[in-house]
Structure 1
Amino acid sequence: MYLVDGNNVMAQRVGWHKDKRKARRRLMDELARFAHTRRASVAVVFDGAPDEFFADGASYKGVRLFYAERGSNADERIKQLVERERERRTLIVVTSDRALSDYVRRCGAQVIRSGEFRKRMEEAEAANSNPNSPEPSVEGELNEWMRYFGVGTEDDEEP
């Protein structure tokens, strides 16, 4: 699983700060394509308040979204998520923050710098740039929402 420091990765693009909302959405789309291409689980943590359309913990095209808690920052939220992760050996945290990187490594997880991750996303995009390839599947996201609303529970399924 990839746990991405969203603001660090957005900062790899010139001018991202001019429209942070648009930059967030663009990164979420890029992460969704990366997750689909690499068949990987991806979660992203952003600084600041949640987007009005995406609550903390929501899923967007299969990418889980988290935000810094009020009065805190994304680095602290990432630390919390790392601490909760049971399979830390398979967790890859994407950040350029040195102190956070050191902490994550001490916890037993791996670290990739934001610039290196952006290159990996671009390579995955180039390798999958077939115009006939389908959009990332939303089946997982649909199932998640169905479970959330109690639709299609085990009681409703046929043997």
Structure 2
Amino acid sequence: MPYLIDGHNLIPKVGLRLDSLDDELELIAILQEFCRLERRQAEVYFDGAPSPHAGTRKLGAVTAHFSPVGSSADDAIRNRLRKLQKAAKNWTVVTSDRQVQSDARSARAEVISSDEFAKMIRKAMDSLQASKGERTVSKQELEEWMKMFSGKETSD
């Protein structure tokens, strides 16, 4: 199920700062990795983009929509749900805005809060780190291996 994401709601939930110049690009990079790991598609919406930066950009599995100054990401998400019509039920809306959540439910879309989605991202990234990193060994396990390789019998 693909995602429709309110980007500025999600930015602080994933540990980024809204006052950073590159906050949107940093979030997009995180979403690209998440979508790659989860094999999902996402559309992320940002509001308040100056006119030369407004528009849509496709970046791998993530499509970023930058609404121009004067229009909101909330309205853009609502418009997208209207265009999806009955297919909206196949999408998940990620937002902490209660009105957008209500509108998404009315369109029969799934809804996840930005907090919950940030937890999903962390879990996916943690599992990636765990699969990349070395497995940790408990102290007891280490002692058993040391005894085995030193030729001493274990007491078990």
Shorter chain as denominator, the TM-score bin is: 0.7 to 0.9
Larger Rg, first or second structure (1 or 2): 2
For CA contacts below 8 A with separation 6 or more, give which structure has more relative contact order.
1
Pairwise mapping of residues 50-61 of structure 1 onto structure 2 (< 5 A)? Answer: 56-61=55-60
Structure 1 regions of 5+ residues with no counterpart?
133-159
Identity %: 28
Shift of 1:69: 4.0
Q: What TM-score comes out, normalization by structure 2 length?
A: 0.75
User: Following TM superposition, where does structure 1 have runs of at least 4 consecutive aligned residues deviating by more than 4 angstroms?
Assistant: none
Q: What TM-score comes out, normalization by structure 1 length?
A: 0.74
Equivalent-residue separation in structure 1 for 2:8 and 2:65 (angstroms): 12
1:69 and 1:83, CA in 2 relative to 1: closer, same or farther beyond 3 A? farther
Equivalent-residue separation in structure 1 for 2:31 and 2:51 (angstroms): 17
| Aligned residues between the structures | 130
More strand by share: 2
Q: Deviations over 1:55-89 (max 9, x none)?
A: 62211232101122442211000101111115211
Contact 1:50 1:56 in 2 (8 A): no
Equivalent-residue separation in structure 1 for 2:111 and 2:11 (angstroms): 17
- Mapped pair 1:118 → 2:113: no
Equivalent-residue separation in structure 1 for 2:95 and 2:51 (angstroms): 21
Structure 2 regions of 5+ residues with no counterpart?
134-156
1:101 and 1:23, CA in 2 relative to 1: closer, same or farther beyond 3 A? same
Q: Deviations over 1:75-121 (max 9, x none)?
A: 00010111111521110000000011001100110110001000000
Paired residue for 2:153?
A: none
